[in-house]
Structure 1
Amino acid sequence: MRVVLCEKPSQAADVAKVIGATNRGQGCFTGPGLAVTYCIGHLMENAAPEDYGDRYKKWSLEDLPIIPSEWKMKAKPKTQSQLKTVKALLDKAKELVIATDPDREGELIAWEVIEHCGYKGPTLRMHLSALNQAAIKKAWANLRPASETINQYYSALARGRGDWLVGMNMSRLFTLLGAQAGYQGVLSIGRVQTPTLRIVVDRDRTIENFVAKPYWDLSVTLSHNKATFTAKWLPASAMDEQGRCSSEQAARQAEAAVLNTGVARVSAVATERVVEAAPLPFSLGDLQQACSAKLGLGAQQTLDIAQSLYETHKATTYPRADNGYLDESMHSEVPQIFAAMVRTDPSVATLVGRLDPQVKSRAWNSAKVTAHHGIIPTIEPANIERMSEREASVYRLIRAHFLAQFLPAHEYDKTIVQLTIADQEFKASGRLQQVVGWKAVMTDQGAKANEEAAGQEEAGQSSAQVLPDLVEGDRPKVIAAAGEKMMTTPPKHMTEGDLIKAMKGAAKLVSDPRLKQKLRDTVGIGTEATRAGIIETLLERGFIVKKGRTLRATDAAFTLIDSAPEALTNPGMTAVWEQALTMVEEGTMGLDDFVSRQSTWITQMVTKYSSTKMSFKLEPSPPCPVCQGQMRRRPGKTGPFWSCMTYPDCNGTISIEQKSKKSVSKRKPNRKAAAAS
C-alpha cells in the first residue's frame, strides 16, 4: 500500500480527492492500494528537562547547563490518537509519499513521525505549492526521492535542539537569578522571543529619553490665475540634521522679507507621471499589519480570524502565507473565484462585472511562491451573513487585494515647483490623479492600499493639493506667510502591527552587512506562523502590556534585556543561526556538529552569567497559604497566579484575582512553559 502523509486534515482532503482516495476513514482517506493521512501539525515534541531525570523537576543553578547526551522526542498528548492512526498505516506501507509543506518545518513534521514509527521503506517527496486540482495533479505526477530534501529535516532538527538549549537553560538561569533579586515570575529567554522583546524595549527607551527640540516652519500662501496654493520654506542656513530651521530669528527675518516682497518667482517646474502597481495579495504578516492599522486587531486576533475564514467559512485560502505571490496554474480558476465572491456577497456583483479575469498582474509568479501562495478568496462560495463583523471586515480586505489584481495601475502626475521669494527658496508639491485604477476597488471595499500613496505629506504640506498651471518665470503673488514654532516629537509606541513589521524588517536593526543580508533572505526574525504566538507569549508572561492599541514594555522587560547576553537580545543572533542552519541544509555542516557548537556556547553563557546581579521594581508577594514561605508570580492558562518558591516540595498557589481571599489551589504550575520558543 502507498501511504501519503500530509501536514493538515484539510490538505489531506484536497490531495485525496484528486488522487483517488475517496473513502473517508478514521484519521485518513483511502482508495485502491492507497491511503492519505495527516499529522495535524506536529504530532511529536521535544522532551522536557524533567523527562531526562527527576533531578530537573526542581530548578537549580547547580544543574545548569542541561545538555542531553541523547535527544528524546515524545508524542503530544492531545493528538496521540492520530499518531496511532499514522503508525498503523506506516506499519502496512510498502511506499511512503511525504506531502507536508515543502519547507524546513514541513520536513520536520513528517520525519519526526517517520522516525518515531520506525518506517524504513521507500520514501518519495511530493512538492505542493498550491492545493488546487492542477497543482496537485502536477505534483503527484512529479514525485521525487525524499533523499533530495532530507537535509531540510536535519536543519529543522538542528534549529529545534538549539532553541531548546537556549530556552531551557537561559530561562532557568535568569529565572533563578531573578528569584535571588526577589522577582516573582518566570524570566523566559528565547532566540526569537528575546530580540523581539528588545525591539519594544528599545522603542520605549527612545521615547522615554527623547528630548523635544524647537524648530521653525514657514508656510506661504500664493495666488496665480485666481487659484491659490501653498509652498514650504527651504531654509539655507541655521538648519538641524533634518534640514529644519533651528533659529527663530532666521525664521522671523525670512517671514518679514517674504511679506515685504509680496511676489514670488517660479524658478523651476518638474512634472512626472507616477504609476503605482496594485499591492500584492496578503501574506499573513502584511494582513496582520493592515488589520492592526485599519481595524485595531492584534496579531493573534487577525490570525484566528484568518484561520476561521479558511477553516470554518471556507472563504479564503490557507492563512499562514509568507508572501503575496500566486501560482500561475491557479489563474484559470479566476472566473470561478469571481463567481464564488458574488455568491458570497451579492453587493460586489456590479464591481466584479467590470473586471477582466484574463488580466495577469505581477502577483502571478510561480517562481516567487514558496511554501504557500498569497491569501485570496476561494472557488467555494461562503455566506458573509454568517461571518462576525470582524470576520467580514478581514474578508473584505483580503477580497479587495485580490480584486485589485484585475484593474489598471493607479496613475497620477506629481508636480514639484521651485520658487524664490526675497532670496529665500520655497517648494510647492501637487498631484493630479489621471487613472484611478486599482484604488477604485480599495474604495469600493472600504479598504486602503497597504502602502500609502506616493507623494505623502512632505514637511507637513498636504500632497493632495492641485497646483495651478505654472511655468518657469511666472510670478505668483504672496497672499499670506505664517511662521510657526514647532517641536520635534518622539516616535510612537508600537502597535502589534508595527512589531510584526519590525520583526519582518529586522535587517534594519543589524549593522553587519552579511548578517543584514541573511535576515533579508530569511524575512527577518520569526516566521509568518510564529510571530503572533511570540507576541502573545510576551503578553502572557508580563514582559509587555497593552495600552489601547499600543504595546509597552514592563519594568521586568527592561531589566531582562539589560541583563541578558547581547548575543541573545540582538536580532543578529538569528542571522548567525540561519547561516549555520543553511550549512546543515546544504550538507556542509552536520547536525551533531551544530548541536555540539551550541552546547559549548550555552555552557560558556551559563558560566559567564551565573553571577549576574539583577534589580527589579518588585510587586509584594503574599505568603504561601500552605507553608507561609515566599511565593513567585507565574503565568497560567487562565491568567497569572502566585506559586510557592519551593515548588514542587510545596504546591501552594494563589490566583492573582483571588489574592485577597487567600484561596488555595493544589494544581501544579506548568514549569515547562517557562522555556522560550
Structure 2
Amino acid sequence: MPAPSPGRTLFFFEKPSAMRELKRFFRSPNTVCVAAEGHLLTAEEPGDVRPDWKPWRFDALPIVLDTIPVACGQNRSGQSHAGKLAAIREALSGVDRVIIATDPGREGSMIAWEVLEHLGWRGRVDRLKLGALDDVSIRRAFAGLAAEPDSGERDYAAYLEALCRQYEDYHLGLNGTRAISLRLRPAAFREPWRFGGVQTPTLAILADLEARIRAFVPQDFFRVGLHLGTAEGHALTLWHAPKERILDPEVAETIRAAAAGWSGPIRVEQKDVRRTPPRLFSKDTLARRCAKRFGWDPQHTAKLAQDLYDQGYLSYPRTESELLPEGQIGDATAIIVAVTGVLPELGPLFPPEQKPVIRRGKSGPYVKDPGEHHAIVPLRKVPERGRLTGDQARLWELVAKAYLAAHLPDGIDARTGITAEVGTPLGPKRFAVSGTVVRAPGWRAVYGAEADTEVDLVPGKARREEEASAARLPPVRDGEAAAATGAEIATAVTEPPRRITRGELPVVMARLVDQVEDPAVKRALENPANPNEPKGLGTAATRDTILPKLLKSRYVTLGTGKDPAVSVTEVGLAFIGAVRAVFPAYGDPVGRAVFEAELAEIGRAATRAEAERRAEEFRQRTRARLDALIAAIAGAPTIDLDPSLIPPGGPGGRDDRAPTPAMVAFAVSLAERKGVPLPRGCKSSMRVCRTFLDAQAGPRAQGDMEARGPDGVRAPSEAMLRYARSLAEARGIACPPEVEARFEACRSFLDAHAGRPDTARAARKSAAPSRGRGAAPRRKPAPARRQARSAGDRQP
C-alpha cells in the first residue's frame, strides 16, 4: 500500500445513512468517507479450501484451520462486494489515519477491521463510538474520541473477540454437525443434526424444561374459605392459602371445621405501597415486550429498532443494559419536551415548572457505569407524524413512553389487608383478604389502563399464586368483632412450569440466573464487572437468531397465539441426549455461560498485544476441545428414534407429501417378506415410508454415505421414472417397485435395460412429455451440486 500523505483521514462507516448524518460535521478536503453496508467478506466453505473436505467423511475430522479463510461476499441481491472493496482500497491510498465509525459493539468493529486487515492496512486506527445519531450524541462521540488516544487499540481487542467467536462457531458448526450427523444421527432422520456452541446449550435449557413439563403430575391442593359477619353487619370472606400448599384433604377438613366455629376480632391494616416505574429496555426485553403486546418475532423487533437508530430516532439498539449513565441526566428535560411534542396527550404530565424525577442507583435508571451500551431510549430528534411505518411508530412510542415513565413520580396504592387468626388442632392458621386502591397513579398515567397488564413473569416457571384479593372491601374497623357464618374447602390443581415463548427466549438466554435454584450456580453466573448484566448465552446482537436455527433443524416447534410457546420435539430431545451422553460440556448452559464470560475477556484487553495473546490461547483451547469432541463421538452408538415421532416440515415441505403407490407397494411387500410390522404413517407420509425402505431394503455402505453427505438414500427423479416405465413397457416386463422408490435401483434398471438402441429410442420417445407448437426446446438438466455447509452460530 502506498505511503500515506500527512493529514488525510478516512472515516469508515457501516451504512450510508450514518455517513450522511456525520458528514455534516466535517467538510475538510483532507477527509475521506467510505461505507461498507454490512460485512463485505464471508468465510469460505471447507470444500473451497480443500476439495477433499467437501465430502462428509468422519475420517477427515476434525477439520481445523489456523485462521478462517475469507472471500469477497455478496449483498442480498447476489451482487459481489468486489467493487466496494476496490473502492475502499483506493480510498485508503494516501491516508495516514482511519477512524472506524461503524455501529458500536463487536459486530461493528469486525465489519471495519476485517476489511482493513484483508487490505493490509497498517496505519493508525481510532474508534468513534456512536451511541446514537442525533447531533448531541455525535458531538459527544467526537469529544470521547479526542479524550481516548488508545481507542483503536481497545477496539482491536473487541474485533479479536468477535473473530474468536466466529472461529469457534465455524469450527464447532463444521466439525460437530458433520460428526454427529455421520455417527449419532438416527437413520430415521435424513437431515443434518446441526450443532453449535450457543444453539446446543440453548436447546438444553428448553429440553430440561420440556422434561419437567412432561414429568409433571398434577396434584389437587386445598384452600379453606372463612365466611364472616361483623358486628356492624358487614359480610366478607377470608382465605387460608399458605405458601406450603395443603395437599392432604384431612388437613383441609380439620382447618375448615375449626374455622366454621370461629369468632373474635379481625385485624385491619392499611398502608401505602409505592410502585416504581419499570426498567428501560434492553434489546432482549424490548423484544419480549413487543412479542407480548404486538405478537412480533424478535428479529422483526430488532430490525425496526435498527431502522429507527439509523434514522436518528433511537439510541443504539443492540444493548444488554437497561440503565443510563449519570452523564445523561441533563438530557432528560430536552428529550421529554421533544417526545411530548409528538405525544401531546402526555404533555400535561410534565408541567414546565416541574422538573423530571431523577432516580439514581438501585431505585432508578441512572448509574455511573451502565455497561458497554446504555438502555434503548428516544432522542431529541423525534419522528414527524406520517414519516414512520405503522410498526416503526408503535415501537418508537413504546420506547418513548418507557422513558417518560422513568422520569415521573412513583405510583402510590392504598392497600388494605384484613386478617383473622383461627386456632386449630394443627396450630393457629392465618386467614386473609386484601384490596388495593390507586391513591396516586404516578408514572402509570403514561399507560392508563395498560399499566397493570405489563407484569412480566419469570419464563419457564409456574405462575405465582397471589394472595386472595377482592375488588371491593367493606368498611370494617381494626379490632371489630366478627363470627363465622360458614366455611368451605375450595379445590385447585397445581400447574406445570410455563413454556418459554418465542419472545422470552432471548431474555432467558441473557438471564440464566433466573432459571437456576442452586445458590452456588447463581453465584457462578454473577458478573462482578457489571452486576446488572449476569453471564448468559450468546450476545445481544445474535440471540434472536438462535430460535430460527432450532426450528430449521426441527429440534423445536412453535405453538399458537400472539407470542407462541416453544416446545421441544422428540428429535430435539434425542439430539440433546446424544450430545450430553458423548460430550456433556456442550449440553451445559451454565458452563457455556461461564465459558463465554472468559471469551469476553479478550475484548477487555487493554493493549493489542494482550488481546492477541488471549486470542491465540482461545484458538488453541478451541482446537483441543474439537479433538476431544471428535474422539468422544467416534466410539458412540447411533441413536434410535421411531420415524413416526419426527415432526413434518423438511426442506420445501417435502416430508408432508404422501408416498407414491409404488413406494407403498414395495414397503408392504418388504414388511410381509421380512415379517416386520409396517410403521404407523407409512402409507401417508413420504418421510416415514422412505425411512422404512432405507432400513429394510439394505442401507448403503458407510463410506458411500459419508462421501455423499447426510441426506440418506435418494429417490429417483420424475424423468428417471418416466424413462424406466417406458423401458419396461417397450421390453414387456414389469417395473419393480424398488425402481420407483430408490435412486440406485432405478439407475441399475436403466443401465441394464437401456442397452439396445431401438428399445432405448422408443422408450425415450414415449417418455418425453409432449410440447406444444413453438415451445422452447428442453434443456438438459445440469447435474445437482451438493455443498456441505457448516451450521454454527454466527455471534460477532
TM-score band by shorter chain is: 0.7 to 0.9
Matched letter for residue 265 of structure 1: P
- Cα shift readout 1:162-206 (whole Å, capped 9, x = no counterpart): 222222111111122355623111211111111111222222221
> Is 1:461–2:468 an aligned residue pair?
yes
Match of 2:628 in 1: 604
Q: Residues of 1 paired with 2:417 and 2:216: CA distance?
A: 33
Q: Residues of 1 paired with 2:367 and 2:40: CA distance?
A: 31
Q: Residues of 1 paired with 2:470 and 2:659: CA distance?
A: 63
Match of 2:434 among 409, 422, 429: 429
| Higher mean displacement: 296-305 or 350-359 | 350-359
Match of 1:319 in 2: 317
Aligned residues: 637
Match of 2:792 in 1: 675
> Is 1:577–2:595 an aligned residue pair?
yes
Residues 169 and 792 in structure 2, CA contact (< 8 A), matched pair in contact too: no
Alignment of structure 1 residues 169-184 onto 2, 5 Å: 169-178=175-184, 181-184=187-190
| Higher mean displacement: 565-574 or 31-40 | 31-40
Structure 1 residue 552, shift from structure 2 partner? 1.3
Match of 2:395 in 1: 394
Specify the SS of the correspondent of 2:216.
Answer: coil
| Higher mean displacement: 328-337 or 644-653 | 644-653
Residues 265 and 421 in structure 1, CA contact (< 8 A), matched pair in contact too: no
> Is 1:590–2:607 an aligned residue pair?
no
Match of 2:770 in 1: none
Specify the SS of the correspondent of 1:609.
Answer: helix
Matched letter for residue 532 of structure 1: D
TM-score by length of 1: 0.82
Specify the SS of the correspondent of 1:110.
Answer: helix
Residues 56 and 788 in structure 2, CA contact (< 8 A), matched pair in contact too: no
| Higher mean displacement: 427-436 or 226-235 | 226-235
Match of 2:57 in 1: 60
Match of 2:555 in 1: 543
> Is 1:141–2:146 an aligned residue pair?
yes
> Is 1:278–2:298 an aligned residue pair?
no
Q: Residues of 1 paired with 2:61 and 2:659: CA distance?
A: 27
Match of 2:404 in 1: 403
Matched letter for residue 49 of structure 2: Y
Q: Residues of 2 paired with 1:524 and 1:99: CA distance?
A: 28
Residues 345 and 384 in structure 1, CA contact (< 8 A), matched pair in contact too: no
1:33–1:563 Cα change, 3 Å: same
Structure 1 residue 441, shift from structure 2 partner? 0.5
Match of 1:189 in 2: 195
1:185–1:571 Cα change, 3 Å: same
Match of 1:84 in 2: 86
Residue segments in structure 1 that go unaligned for 5+ positions in a row: 22-30, 236-241, 634-643
Structure 1 residue 336, shift from structure 2 partner? 5.2
- Cα shift readout 1:511-562 (whole Å, capped 9, x = no counterpart): 5546322597554112222111111221222221111021111221111010
Residues 709 and 788 in structure 2, CA contact (< 8 A), matched pair in contact too: no
Match of 2:43 in 1: 46
Residues 15 and 136 in structure 1, CA contact (< 8 A), matched pair in contact too: no
Residues 343 and 382 in structure 1, CA contact (< 8 A), matched pair in contact too: no
Match of 1:641 in 2: none
Alignment of structure 1 residues 194-343 onto 2, 5 Å: 194-224=200-230, 225=232, 227-233=234-240, 243-261=244-262, 263-266=263-266, 271-311=270-310, 315-328=313-326, 330=328, 333-334=331-332, 337-338=335-336, 340-341=338-339
1:478–1:247 Cα change, 3 Å: same
Specify the SS of the correspondent of 1:497.
Answer: coil
Q: Residues of 2 paired with 1:340 and 1:182: CA distance?
A: 60
Residues 218 and 481 in structure 1, CA contact (< 8 A), matched pair in contact too: yes
Residues 300 and 536 in structure 1, CA contact (< 8 A), matched pair in contact too: no
Specify the SS of the correspondent of 2:496.
Answer: coil
Matched letter for residue 9 of structure 2: R
Q: Identity over the aligned pairs, expressed in percent?
A: 24
Q: Residues of 1 paired with 2:345 and 2:269: CA distance?
A: 42
TM-score by length of 2: 0.71
* Structure showing the higher strand proportion among its residues: 1
- Cα shift readout 1:614-666 (whole Å, capped 9, x = no counterpart): 122325979999xx9xxx99xxxxxxxxxx976579999999xxxx999x996
Match of 2:20 among 13, 18, 21: 13
> Is 1:154–2:160 an aligned residue pair?
yes
Structure 1 residue 462, shift from structure 2 partner? 3.0
Residues 396 and 445 in structure 1, CA contact (< 8 A), matched pair in contact too: no
Residues 555 and 569 in structure 2, CA contact (< 8 A), matched pair in contact too: yes
Match of 1:517 in 2: 526
Residues 400 and 445 in structure 1, CA contact (< 8 A), matched pair in contact too: no
Specify the SS of the correspondent of 2:99.
Answer: strand
1:197–1:215 Cα change, 3 Å: same
- Cα shift readout 1:373-400 (whole Å, capped 9, x = no counterpart): 3223343343555655544443332222
Residues 229 and 235 in structure 2, CA contact (< 8 A), matched pair in contact too: yes
Matched letter for residue 426 of structure 1: F
Structure 1 residue 233, shift from structure 2 partner? 1.0
Q: Residues of 1 paired with 2:310 and 2:125: CA distance?
A: 30
> Is 1:616–2:641 an aligned residue pair?
yes
Q: Residues of 1 paired with 2:251 and 2:186: CA distance?
A: 58
Q: Residues of 1 paired with 2:384 and 2:283: CA distance?
A: 23
- Cα shift readout 1:31-69 (whole Å, capped 9, x = no counterpart): 421123333343334333223311111111111111114
Alignment of structure 1 residues 421-570 onto 2, 5 Å: 421-423=422-424, 424-443=429-448, 448-449=453-454, 451=456, 458-459=465-466, 461-462=468-469, 466=473, 468=475, 470-471=477-478, 473-509=479-515, 512-513=520-521, 515-518=524-527, 521-548=533-560, 549-564=564-579, 565-570=583-588
Match of 2:9 among 2, 18, 23: 2
Q: Residues of 1 paired with 2:40 and 2:498: CA distance?
A: 42
Q: Residues of 2 paired with 1:478 and 1:105: CA distance?
A: 67
1:543–1:356 Cα change, 3 Å: farther
Residues 281 and 399 in structure 2, CA contact (< 8 A), matched pair in contact too: yes
Q: Residues of 2 paired with 1:2 and 1:265: CA distance?
A: 82
1:353–1:537 Cα change, 3 Å: farther
Q: Residues of 2 paired with 1:287 and 1:445: CA distance?
A: 16
Q: Residues of 1 paired with 2:339 and 2:377: CA distance?
A: 11
Structure 1 residue 342, shift from structure 2 partner? 5.0
Q: Residues of 1 paired with 2:715 and 2:307: CA distance?
A: 35
| Higher mean displacement: 284-293 or 500-509 | 500-509
Residue segments in structure 2 that go unaligned for 5+ positions in a row: 1-7, 76-80, 649-654, 664-685, 688-703, 723-739, 741-780
Structure 1 residue 341, shift from structure 2 partner? 3.8
Residues 191 and 573 in structure 1, CA contact (< 8 A), matched pair in contact too: no
Q: Residues of 1 paired with 2:104 and 2:369: CA distance?
A: 14
